[in-house]
Structure 1
Amino acid sequence: MAPKKQAVEEKLQLGRPGNNLKIGVVGLPNVGKSTFFGAIATVEASAENYPFCTIDPQESRVAVPDDRLDWLYEKYKPSSKIPAYLTVFDIAGLVKGASEGAGLGNAFLSHISAVDGIFHVVRAFNDPDVVHVEGEVDPSRDLDIIHRELRLKDIAMLNKYIEANERNIERMGTGGSVEDKKKKDEFAIIIKVRDWVAGDKDVRKGQWSNKEIEVLNQQGLLTAKPVTYLANVSEKDYVRKKNKYLPVIKKWIDENNPGDKLIPFSGVFETTLAGMPDENSKVAYLEENKATSAFPKIITTGYESLNLMHFFTAGEKEVRAWTCRKGAKMTEAARSIHNEIADSLIQVDVMKFVDLKAAGSEADLKAAGKLLIRGKDAIIDDGDVVYFRSGMGRAKK
C-alpha cells in the first residue's frame, strides 16, 4: 500500500490580506513626491518649495494599464470598459529623527503604517531653486535616512509590545495551558523579529514561517511593506536616458535590498505631459522628445509588488478587470465581485487569455477544446477570462 501524500502547507503572504490594498508615496521633503502624485493622479497637489507642504495624505485611484483589457474591449465591443485600480497615497516628507517625533514624524509614520506598500521617491536631480532638507543631493544618504527611521519606528513598536508583556510571560513559567503556550510562542517571535530589525534588516527580507507570518501580520510593521524605488531625475536627464545618480542608487539597492525594483522618472516631464490639453498634444510631445511616460511601468510595478493580479469578465454589457491576490482560489476571486457568488459558487468556465486571443473568439476557442472547467478550490491565474457559475440563480459573466 502506497504511503499517503503529505499535504503541502500553503505559504502565507506577508502583509494585510485583501484585494483593496494601498501604496504610499514616501521620501524626504522636496524630492518630488507631491509633483509625482499630482501628475500620476492628474489632480492638483501642493508642491511648494518648503518641507511639510503635504500634511494630510492625499488619496487617488489610478487605473492599472493592461493591453489585454483593451483587446477584450475591441473584441466584445461592450458599452463599458472598467480597468483594475491602484490606490495611491501622497504622504508628507520624513526627516532624520522622525521616529522620535522630529518634524511631523509621528503623524507621517502613522500614515505609512496605514498603507500596504511604498513608492520610495529618491531625489536624483540638482536644482538650486529647490532646497534639499539635508543641504545637498546625496541619494545614498537619503536612502539611509528613510530606512533607518522606518526601522527605528518598528523597533520602538516591538519594544513596546515586549515591555507590556514581558512580566506576564515570566510568570507563566514552564508548561501551562494551550493559551499560555500560544502567548509565549508569540512573545518569542516578537523578540526574534525585533532582533532581526535591530540588525539593520527589513522584516520583508526575512525568511519567516507561516506561524511567524501570522504574528507579523498583526503588527503592521513599516519594514514589512514592499518597496519600489523611484528616482526623480531632471527632464533633460530623463529624455537623454542618462543620470549620474542612478548607478549610485542602484548600487545602494543591490547592497541593502537586493531584488527591489528601481524606476527612473522625471516629475517635471510627467507634469508637463499631464498638463497637455488633449491626447494629440501628448503624442506630439512624446514624439518630439523621443520618450515615453514612466507611469504605466510605475503603476504596474507597484500593483504587482502588493502581490496583486487581475482576472477578467467579458460580455456584451461590460469588459472588466477584477483585482485579487496572486494564488487566490476561485472562491476568493469570486468574492471580489460579490459575496453571494462566492458563497454559492459551483464551477468556473475559464478561458486563458493567450488561448482566447490565438483562437480569435469564444466559439473558436470552444471548438478547439480549450474552454476549461474548474472547481471552486482551483487557483485562478493572472489574465484568466472567467464565467462564474453559482447557485444564486444566475452566473456572473
Structure 2
Amino acid sequence: MPPKKKVEEKKVLLGRPGNNLKAGIVGLANVGKSTFFQSITRSPLGNPANYPFATIEPEEARVIVPSPRFDNLCEIYKPASQVPAHLTVYDIAGLTKGASAGEGLGNAFLSHIRAVDSIYQVVRCFDDAEIVHIEGDVDPIRDLQIINEELRLKDIEFAQKALENAHKIARRGGQSLEVKQKKEETVLIERIIKLLEDGQRVANQEWTPKEVESINSMFLLTAKPCIYLINLSEKDYIRKKNKHLLRIKEWVDKYSPGDMIIPFSVCMEEKLSTMSPEEQEEELKKIGTQSALPKIITSMRQKLDLISFFTSGPDEVREWTIREGTKAPQAAGVIHNDLMNTFILAQIMKYSDMVEYKDENAIKSAGKLLQKGKDYVVEDGDIIYFRSAAGKN
C-alpha cells in the first residue's frame, strides 16, 4: 500500500476565537499613529497633535474592509441595503521608555493593549524637523527595541505572577487533576519566561492547543499578532526606497519572525483621505503608486485568520466575519443566537457559482445549491441561507 500522506497540522492561534476582533495602533509618541487612525477610518476622532501623549484614551472606529466579492454581489442583487464587513481599530496612547514600570502613560497604554486582539505597530522612518521625536532623533531600530522591551518586561511580570499562583497549587502534592495541571503549567510558564528574557515574542512560537488555552488565560501582550507599519515620507514611499528598511527587516526576522512589514506613508494617506474616490484615483495615477490602506486592512484579517460569508438577497447583501474553521451553527450564531440554538441546516451557494450563473434559480437548476448540516465547516466566500426551528431564516 502507498504510504499515507502526511497531513500538515494548522498552527493553533492564540487569542479568543470570536468574530468581532479588534486591532490596536501602537508605537512611540509622534510616529504618526493618530494621523494614520484618521486616514484609515476617515474619522476626526484622533488627536494628532505634535507633542507626546496627545492621545490619552484609545479612540475607536470601524474600518470598512475592501471586498471585491461584496461589491460584485451588490451589483448582481442590487439590494435595498448594503452592509460590508468591518474591522474595529483603536488609536492607543503613545508608549515611552519605562512604560512597563508606569512611566508616562505606561499603565494606561499597557491595559489598552491588553484589551485588543492584534497590533498595528507604527514605526517612524521619516525626517521632519517640525515633528518632534520623543527620543530626539529618528532611529527605527531603537524604537522597535523600546516597544519590544516594554511589552516583554510587562509580560515577564504577568508570567511571574501566574507562575507564583501555579506553584502554590502544585506544592500541595497529591494526584488530583488540578495539581497535575498546575505542575504542567509551571513548566510552560517557565519556558515562556525564558523566551521572553531571550528577547522573543510569545506570538511567534509554536504552541499546542492545551498550551494555547493556558497562555490565553494570561492575556500576554506579546501573544498578540503584530503587523509592522513602516511610516515613510511620501517621496520614499513612491520610490519604494528608504535607508532603514533593510535593518528593520533584519530586526523583525530576528525578534518577530514571520510577522509582516508593510511600508506606507501617513503623509500621503492623510492627503488622500480628504479627496473623493475619483480624485484619489487621479492623484494615485499621477504619482504612480497605490494606497497601502487596503493591504493594511486585509492583511490584519488574514493575520487573525478571519474569513467571510455572505447573506444575499434583494433586501440586503451583508458580509459577515468569522474565524476560519467555524462550523455552520456557530456562523449562524454570528447573525443571531437563536439561529445557532435552533439550527436545522444551511443552504449554501459558492461565490464562484454566483459569479458564473448570476442567478439563484440557475444555480439550483444546475444542482449546485448545497444542503449542509451541523458539522459543515464554513468556507471563505460561502453565500448562506440558514434554516432554523424558530422559523428565522
Q: Indicate whether the TM-score tops 0.5.
A: yes
| Structure 2 partner of 1:189 | 188
- 1:178 deviates by 2.2
Mapped to 1, the partners of 2:168 and 2:362 lie a distance apart of: 69
| Of 366-375 and 335-344, the range deviating more from structure 2 | 366-375
Distance 1:325 1:133 in 2: 38
Q: CA deviation at 1:341?
A: 0.7
- Residue 297 of structure 2 corresponds to residue 296 of structure 1: no
What is the SS of the residue equivalent to 1:69?
Answer: helix
Deviation of 1:60 (Å): 0.5
Counterpart residue number, 1:98: 99
Distance in structure 1 (CA, Å) of the matches to 2:40 and 2:256? 26
Distance in 1 between residues matched to 2:95 and 2:10, nearest whole Å: 37
Structure 2 residue aligned with 1:230: 229
Q: Which amino acid aligns with 1:36?
A: F
Q: Say which is worse superposed, 283-292 or 377-386, in terms of deviation.
A: 283-292
**CA–CA separation in structure 1 for the residues paired with 2:195 and 2:77:** 52
Give how far 1:223 is off: 0.6
Q: Deviations over 1:1-24 (max 9, x none)?
A: xxxxxxx99975310221111000
Q: Does the C-alpha gap of structure 1 residues 10 and 391 become closer, same or farther in structure 2, counting only changes over 3 Å?
A: farther
Structure 1 equivalent of residue 330 of structure 2: 332
Equivalence for 2:27: 27
Report if aligned partners of 1:36, 1:267 keep a CA contact under 8 Å in 2: yes
Between 40-49 and 106-115, report the one with greater CA deviation: 40-49
Separation (CA, whole Å) in 2 of partners of 1:307 and 1:167: 36
Deviation of 1:394 after TM superposition, in Å, equals 3.6
Corresponding pairs, count: 385
Other structure's SS at 1:312 match: strand
Number of the residue aligned with 1:176: 175
Gaps of 5+ in 1: 1-7
Report what 1:4 is aligned to: none
For residues 196-239 of structure 1, give each alpha carbon's deviation from its aligned partner in whole angstroms, at most 9, with x where no partner exists: 32222111122211111111111110011000111111112222
Q: Residues 252 and 215 from structure 1, CA distance in 2 versus in 1: closer, same or farther, beyond 3 angstroms?
A: same
Identical aligned residues as a percent: 51
- Partners of 1:233 and 1:264 within 8 A in 2: yes
Please name the residue that 1:18 is paired with.
18
- 1:320: Cα distance to partner? 0.3
1:243 maps onto 2:211 in alignment: no
Question: Alpha-carbon deviation of 1:87?
Answer: 0.4
SS of 2:310's partner is strand
In structure 1, the partner of 2:4 is none
RMSD of aligned alpha carbons: 1.8
What corresponds to 1:280 in structure 2? 278
2:248 matches 1:254: no
Q: Does the residue aligned with 2:258 lie in a helix, a strand or coil?
A: coil
Q: What is the CA distance between 1:302 and its match in structure 2?
A: 1.3
User: Structure 2 CA distance, aligned partners of 1:309 and 1:56?
Assistant: 30
Residues 2-13 of structure 1 aligned to structure 2 (within 5 Å): 12-13=12-13
> What amino acid does structure 2 have at the position aligned with 1:14?
L
Aligned to 1:3: none
- Tell me which residue corresponds to 2:210: 211
Q: Tell me, what secondary structure is at the counterpart of 1:219? A: coil
Secondary structure at the counterpart of residue 121 of structure 2: strand
- Taking the TM superposition and a 5 Å limit, the aligned residue runs for 1:1-397 are 12-44=12-44, 45-170=46-171, 172-173=172-173, 175-276=174-275, 278-395=276-393
Contact 2:12–2:207 (CA under 8 A) maintained in structure 1: no
Tell whether the 8 Å contact from 1:11 to 1:210 is kept in structure 2 after alignment.
no
TM-score, normalisation: structure 1 = 0.92
After superposition, what is the alpha-carbon deviation per residue over 1:18-46, rounded to whole angstroms, capped at 9, x for unaligned? 11110000111111111100111112221
Shift in Å, 1:275:
1.5
